[in-house]
Amino acid sequence: MTVRWPFAFSAMQPFRVVRAQGAYLYTGDGREILDAAGGAIAVNIGHGRAAVADAMRDAAMSTSYVVPPWLTPARERLLERLVRDWLPPGLTRLHLTCSGAEGVETAMKIAIQYHAARGKPAKTAIIGRTPSYHGTTLATTAVGGHEARKHGLAHALPSYMRVPAPYPLRCAAEDVTASCLSALEEAIETAGADNVAAFLAEPIVGASGGAIVPPDDYWPGVKSLCERYDILLLADEVMTGFGRTGAKFALGECTDAHWPVAPDVVVAGKGLAGGYAPITGVFATERVGAAIEAAGMNVMFHTFAAHPAACAAADKVLQILTEEELVARAAKAGADLKARLQETFAQHPRVAQVRGKGLLLALEVVADRADLGRFPAAAQITSRIAAEALQRGVAFYPGGTGVVRDVVVIGPPFTIGDTELTRIVETLAVAIDAATSEA
């Protein structure tokens, strides 16, 4: 029998990985690969931590499964730790899903239910951004601004309004924030504020744009528009959450966020269990949760949501992040890595920008640095850079949306050492030259 995996051939070559330890993957044919992308930007405490495996085993032995609304020791420990040590203030209503897409879709449903519960059932529209990525379900694919992932689906997707995400490198307007906020306000007014439930966005655009950081006045501006028009702010921190960008969360009314702005709902997955288990959190304010509850509505669970073994993994990963002060380390290692990349590529004719925060970084590669002209899509530069790097033993994450392209995303474990940082920079330089020299 021929086994076909993955389902359909993609640009990313499947590797047979038989072991992983720290920041390294080991293949069946004896190769060692530096995991500079933490898989899909998920691995934060490094691979092969026995303490996490032990916690998962203990949870499975103690209470292998009970329905998500009930409590188990592992579930209870995680919920307490989240509120005590991790979540921005005010997020008291917690829901857990298996994937980021389910989490984002739940947040969209919560926004619709919230308004319906307050007697505003017409407020159903969710405004998204371009570029963005929110997951693979029909609704998250539809609301997202990721053209390549709509291939073969676009004609059947429900329609959502989208506004530009701030993209300082390529924004024609002098004031990036003003232009993005006026696009958002225009979208709200076109739809009619009475019809808009929420604005959904990643605080720092993840892989779809390649770690695009907005100007500092963007998020406060978004928040005030949301308040003015009675629209919920849904922060997709699936990639940025739990320390990836060198802060616990990118948004939050607290000192350890990048922007002091309080979302109404935060979705965060990936790093929550550091790649050891599938788990994502949907965290909402008391105001939102209480309105839904008072109207007798509920937020339905997935059968395997908040799985005890996944909760145990997340609880242990969060404990390790705190005990080893790894969020601060992500900030410091990220700043070091960014500085080295900026120095190395300062004059490089093919690198338009090195950007990002903490250990969510990216490079945008162009055909011509002077006019930011892109390589044609058919040249598949991102895949070629990733392949060249992989041949040299380093795994990067190919980002972009098809429209935005040739962004190479870097998101290693927070435990990454100095030698590995040097290897990331050196390998990337060689891989970019090799991939672009004949294009």
Contacting residues toward ligand PLP, per CB under 6 A: 40, 99-101, 104, 133-135, 202, 206-207, 236, 238-239, 269
Residue 353, SS3? strand
Six-digit token string for 99: 């994937």
Smaller CB separation from ligand PLP, 236 or 388:
236
Question: Closer CB to ligand PLP, residue 40 or residue 178?
Answer: 40
Give Cα separations from 131 to 207, 260, 401, 403, 409 (angstroms). Answer: 9, 23, 7, 9, 15
Q: Write down the least CB distance from residue 250 to ligand PLP, Å.
A: 11
**The length of the chain, given as a count of residues:** 439
Nearer to ligand PLP, 207 or 341 (CB): 207
Least separation in angstroms between residue 56's CB and ligand PLP is 19
For the bound state, the minimum distance from the C-beta of residue 40 to ligand PLP, rounded and expressed in Å, comes to: 6
Query: In this structure, are strands 125-130 and 91-97 parallel, antiparallel, or unpaired?
Result: unpaired
Query: Among 199, 230, 285, which Cα is nearest to 115's?
Result: 230
The least distance separating ligand PLP from the CB of residue 369, rounded to whole angstroms, comes to: 28
CB of 202 to ligand PLP, least distance (A): 5
Which residues lie closer than 8 Å to 281 by C-beta, 6 or more apart? 82, 94, 95, 96, 97, 103, 266, 267, 268, 269, 272
Q: Kind of pairing, strands 407-410 and 397-398?
A: antiparallel
99 or 319: CB nearest ligand PLP: 99
Dihedral (Cα; 401, 405, 408, 410), 10-degree rounding? -40
Nearer to ligand PLP, 115 or 134 (CB): 134
Cis omega before residue 121 (within 30°)? no
Least spacing, CB of residue 343 vs ligand PLP, in Å? 28
Residue nearest to ligand PLP (CB): 100
Q: How far apart are CA 100 and CA 110, in angstroms?
A: 15
- Strand 162-164, strand 125-130: pairing: parallel
394 three-state secondary structure: strand
> Which amino acid is it at 271?
G
Q: What is the DSSP letter of 9?
A: -
Query: Residue 175 CB, nearest distance to ligand PLP (Å)?
Result: 26
- Shortest reach from residue 115's CB to ligand PLP, in Å: 23
Q: Name the residue nearer to ligand PLP (CB basis): 222 or 435.
A: 222
Nearer to ligand PLP, 345 or 396 (CB): 396
Quick one: 123 or 149, whose CB is closer to ligand PLP? Answer: 149
Retrieve residue 217's tokens: 């006045």
- Cα 130 from Cα 136, distance rounded (Å): 16
